[in-house]
Amino acid sequence: MEKDLSNMEKALGVTFQNIDTLRQALVHRSYLNEHTSFPLDHNERLEFLGDAVLELVVTEYLYLNYPNPEGEMTNWRAALVNGQQLANIAAKLFVEDFLYMSRGERKDRDSKARRYILANAMEAIIGAMYLDRGWDVAKEFVTRAVLSLLPEILEKKLYIDPKSRFQESAQEHTGITPTYRVHSEEGPDHEKVFTVGVYLEKERVAEGVGTSKQEAQVDAAEKAIEAKGW
């Protein structure tokens, strides 16, 4: 089934010379299992290309505009190009509406799996732009969609992981070091879900959920920062 991608082009602000290059960027591997006669390949090769283009655009921008040490710029870049950030950008551009996915993937709205698919599609779209329209067009898009997030990342120190951020803020505001406690473990070993609380002494500030204790702690720390307005 061919989708009209003109609205996708409008959202991206890029007109493709060969619309099938963009279409391929939107094909998840699962779709081809159900549609064996579909004329295009899945998007993983474009994702590989787009990842490199994205990293180079961001790296070049940071190098040319900031005199900071390599370690700091590496953290900033990671905050700009990580999967969560790319999935957020994809969501703002309504990429999910245009994805070619199997019926099973379409129904499975598990946020973690869906974010992963969206992030990969975003990289594939950047790869498609580079292939179809060249470096300047891809660079302009990345500058507009990704690098525009840098001021907020620097201002809110989002390049520091949430646990470290909450610890710094808690010590600054209260002089207390946060502690984490597992509240529950549910599910079979291969699909465990952990619920973890983060505390400032006896005060439970927030709860987080994740498929590992570490993931649940990070989720709890993010919610604690929000709850405290730090």
Domain CATH for 73:
1.10.1520.10
Is 44 labeled as ligand-binding?
A: no
Q: Are residues 76 and 116 in the same domain?
A: yes
Q: Is 47 annotated as a binding residue?
A: yes
Residue 122 lies in a domain: yes
Q: Which domain holds residue 192?
A: 162-228
Q: What confidence score (pLDDT) does residue 11 get?
A: 96
Same domain, 33 and 102: yes
We report the CATH number of the domain holding residue 182 as 3.30.160.20
- Structure letter (DSSP) for residue 160: S
The number of distinct structural domains making up the chain is: 2
Count other Cβ atoms within 10 Å, centred on residue 216.
25
Residue 155 assigned to a binding site: no
pLDDT recorded at residue 1: 57
Residues 83 and 166 reside in one and the same domain: no
Does residue 143 sit in the same domain as residue 35?
yes
Q: Are residues 100 and 132 in the same domain?
A: yes
Of 126, 155, 184, which residue is a domain's last? 155
pLDDT for residue 191 = 80
Say whether both 136 and 56 belong to one domain.
Answer: yes
Per-residue pLDDT tens digits for 183-205: 999 988 878 899 999 999 999 99
pTM over 0.75: yes
**Of residues 20, 34, 44, 51, which has the active-site annotation?**
51
pLDDT over threshold 70, residue 7: yes
Residues 76 and 171 in one domain: no
Is 1 contained in some domain?
Answer: no
Residues 105, 123, 219, 222: which is the catalytic one?
A: 123
| Average per-residue pLDDT for the chain | 93
Which pLDDT score is estimated for 120?
96
**In which band, very low, low, confident or very high, does the pLDDT at 110 lie, cut at 50, 70 and 90?**
low
Q: Tokens at residue 182, please?
A: 């597992």
pLDDT tens readout for residues 210-228 = 889 999 999 999 999 999 9
Q: How confident is the model over 129-169, as pLDDT tens digits?
A: 999 999 999 999 999 999 999 999 999 888 998 999 999 99
d(CA 178, CA 19): 51
Q: Measure the CA dihedral 120/123/124/130, to 10°.
A: 180
Is residue 136 flagged as an active site residue? Answer: no
Share of the chain above pLDDT 90, in %: 82
**pLDDT at position 114:** 87
Instruction: Pick the last residue of a domain from 155, 184, 206.
Output: 155
Give the integer Cα–Cα distance in Å for 228 and 205. Answer: 8
Annotated active-site residue 51? The verdict is yes
State phi, psi for 126 to the nearest 5 degrees.
-65, -40
Asked if residue 95 and residue 126 are part of one domain, the reply reads: yes
